[in-house]
Structure 1
């Protein structure tokens, strides 16, 4: 909140910050090129049987790449979070009709994949997501618990805490990457953990 361009969503249900124009269009375009070059079908944990639950594509961005390293540096500087707790940055690409239905970023403690993903670094704490472009239509992010819809804007950053103040998972962080209806949507996401990553 020390930055004048940061807004905090006024809700007691979750901690959510936005920052417009965090990245400039040229920087965003460079990351989009990397996503296009390395994308693969996205996956989910605790598969629920719905093959259309997440239909986007994902790219594991190379942390040794100078552009990706600079992106990481900016995210760390913005959040003040311990870089050792950060997962590698991922890129996501959504074509027309693709979406990620309502989900949370934390791992469900009762889920079959919980130990697989959380035994070393622990639960996900913060999510930092950046829109790299504006699709022609659709592609908004909807936070159902607070009835908030965030439209993609080039370079806009979202950051939210996946946990409650007591450290338990916060179901009010449920969010839906809504279907793209025109063009293509690109985002990058960086998650942080309770303990050092890896």
Structure 2
């Protein structure tokens, strides 16, 4: 995936009505409200509740409170999940063969995911393990599934941007700089839920097809 590909993704996202782009050159970030319908959100929440497990980290940093949410590995053959995958692909022109299986996350009161990046840190011990097949992560697409009573915002601290959870709202960002290197300005914090629960789905894309051998 090169600059021309990223520009195609950007142009495609911007072609849809109601899409907002963060006016900051340090981070390519898009927001689209009402991307998913209330029924779609409710259907995915039901699946997350039924199959959740403690969330994990690619590189454990010794902080047991760094990521305290629960995760659900969603079934790509499920018609509900497949329809959302296809909706993301149509919205972005990101090819689903480069996409990781979609995940859902649930946050209870007090749970969070401290400031992190989605790409695999090139200097990390397990970098080769996570990138040897499909390569580095490129784009992240995340959708909030519910309104949160209090807290639960996503804070992009390097660009001073706070996004509030709202049912059906999509966030999409490029994890790379224009030269293809990992972009540290993508660092973001899933802030603590103060009241209620928070549900999201996340789809990550890679440099090479998922499962490539």
TM-score range, shorter chain: over 0.9
Query: Hey, what does 1:68 align to over in structure 2?
Result: 81
Per-residue deviation, 1:5: 1.1
Q: Secondary structure at the match of 1:102?
A: strand
Q: Aligned partners of 2:196, 2:48: CA distance in 1, in Å?
A: 16
* Match status 1:94 vs 2:93: no
Q: Aligned Cα RMSD in Å?
A: 0.5
Aligned pair partner of 2:193 in 175, 180, 184: 180
Q: TM-score, normalised by structure 1?
A: 0.99
Q: Secondary structure at the match of 2:45?
A: helix
Unpaired segments ≥5 residues, structure 1: none
Query: Hey, what does 1:44 align to over in structure 2?
Result: 57
Query: Hey, what does 2:32 align to over in structure 1?
Result: 19
Which aligned runs of 4 or more in structure 1 are off by greater than 2 angstroms? none
| 1:13-162 pair list within 5 angstroms | 13-162=26-175
Q: Secondary structure at the match of 1:43?
A: coil
Q: Deviations over 1:137-188 (max 9, x none)?
A: 0000000011000000000000000000111000000000000000000000
Q: Aligned partners of 2:56, 2:201: CA distance in 1, in Å?
A: 15
Q: Aligned partners of 1:83, 1:68: CA distance in 2, in Å?
A: 12
Residues paired across the two proteins, number: 198
Per-residue deviation, 1:69: 0.5
Per-residue deviation, 1:55: 0.1
Per-residue deviation, 1:45: 1.4
